[in-house]
Amino acid sequence: MLFSRIYCSFSGYIEIGYLSGSRLFSMVTIALLFTGCATVAATESSRRQQSMVDTERIVFVSRHPVVAIAEKLKGKPYRYGGVSPEGFDCSGLMHYVFQQVGLSIPRTTQDQYRASKRIATEDLQPGDLLFFKISSRKLSHVGLYAGNGRFIHASTSKRRVAAAKLDETYWSKRLIGAGRIF
């Protein structure tokens, strides 16, 4: 068995995983039909690190790059007023991930709410913003919808960037609405 990954200039790396020789040949042949693609052999260390394909992450990456960036920031510390990987607050995290893909959004939760287009929660797509009322203020928290009922946010209680489920009672009771930036 051979591990391979395909690099496409329009979408980044697409991990294929362990494939038999004939199936790998078929997949690579199809992939090379796309312009701007080339195969890249995986190193021994990347084989160990990526022995299992995270198909959920591949879907997120293909849907919107801000989700992929936010996923990579999970575990970074919470810091009030923080706007960098050294520490984020909730709106600082949103500001940072959109900035990484060339989109400038306001810095505060309230301004991000005003700048986004209102959408129904049943129309959520990865990359949409979720707004919550945690404290006495009407808008006090924001997270990034990642798909499959999950969102990524800078959690004050966990003191780090983390993923949570939108259907958890704590979050579903506090959800005010959703907005789309792009």
- Judge residue 29's burial from the number of C-beta atoms within 10 Å of its C-beta, 0-12 exposed, 13-18 middle, 19 or more buried: exposed
Is the domain of 33 the same as that of 70?
A: no
> What global pTM score does this model have?
0.66
**Residue range of the domain that includes 21:** 2-53
Considering its fold, how many domains does the chain have in total? 2
CB atoms within 10 A of CB 76: 19
User: Based on the domain organization, do 145 and 118 belong to the same domain?
Assistant: yes
Q: What is the predicted pLDDT for the residue at 46?
A: 43
Same domain flag for 130 and 99? yes
In the chain, where does DSSP find H-type helix? 21-32, 44-49, 55-63, 65-72, 90-100, 109-115, 169-174
| Cα angle for residues 16, 148, 68 (degrees, 5° grid) | 55
pLDDT in tens, the chain (182 residues): 333 333 333 334 333 333 344 443 344 333 433 333 333 444 444 444 443 344 444 433 435 899 999 999 999 999 999 999 999 999 999 999 999 999 999 999 999 999 999 999 999 999 999 999 998 878 999 999 999 999 999 998 899 999 999 999 999 999 999 999 97
pLDDT of residue 28: 39
**Same-domain pairing of 123 and 167:** yes
CATH number at residue 118: 3.90.1720.10
Residues 164 and 91 in one domain: yes
Same domain, 49 and 75: no
